[in-house]
């Protein structure tokens, strides 16, 4: 599952954007949708990996059995999306470069599986090192 999100992150990077990808799977492991952060590409701060995948999934009757997979721990905005729509499970590629709302989600009863992927950690660390201003803007931190 993480591979689908990583593939999206790589697409974003190739487009000159922030390498964060996400994918949504059903409980049988079938891919529902995927997407990536397009803040830079579209000049739209609301397009995070998770929100992109969420929109591409279209309307769903229930999110309880869906799995949100993301290369990086979800920010507050995306953690809010997970809680608002009631995703039961979130799979996180890594939470080393950014902890996001992982603990807040766990406290709310969301199952969060952190894979601590060395590939995800390296991809994000390299990007933050190279583009600190764009990264800080993405997470709402002053430059």
Binding site for Zn ion (CB under 5 A): 48, 75, 77-78
- Out of 50, 107, 137, 141, the active site residue is 50
- CA-derived radius of gyration, the chain: 14
Is-catalytic flag, 8?
no
Cβ–Cβ under 8 Å, residues 66 and 26 = yes
- Phi first, then psi, for residue 117 (nearest 5°) are -70, 125
For the CB of residue 100, give the shortest distance to Zn ion in the complex, in Å.
7
Of 28 and 97, which CB lies nearer to Zn ion in the complex structure?
Answer: 97
CB of 28 to Zn ion, least distance (A): 26
Q: Which residue number, 27 or 34, has a Cβ lying nearer to Zn ion?
A: 34
Active-site positions read: 50
């Amino acid at each position: 599952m993480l591979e689908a999100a990583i593939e999206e992150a790589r697409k974003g990077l190739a487009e000159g954007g922030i390498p964060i990808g996400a994918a949504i799977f059903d409980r049988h492991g079938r891919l529902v949708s995927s997407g990536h952060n397009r803040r830079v590409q579209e000049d739209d701060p609301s397009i995070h990996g998770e929100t992109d995948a969420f929109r591409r999934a279209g309307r769903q009757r229930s999110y309880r059995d869906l799995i949100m997979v993301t290369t990086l721990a979800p920010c507050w905005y995306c953690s809010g999306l997970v809680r608002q729509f009631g995703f039961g499970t979130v799979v996180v590629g890594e939470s080393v470069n950014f902890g996001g709302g992982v603990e807040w989600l766990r406290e709310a009863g969301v199952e969060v599986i952190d894979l601590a992927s060395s590939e995800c950690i390296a991809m994000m660390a390299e990007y933050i090192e190279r583009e600190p201003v764009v990264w800080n803007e993405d997470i709402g931190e002053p430059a």
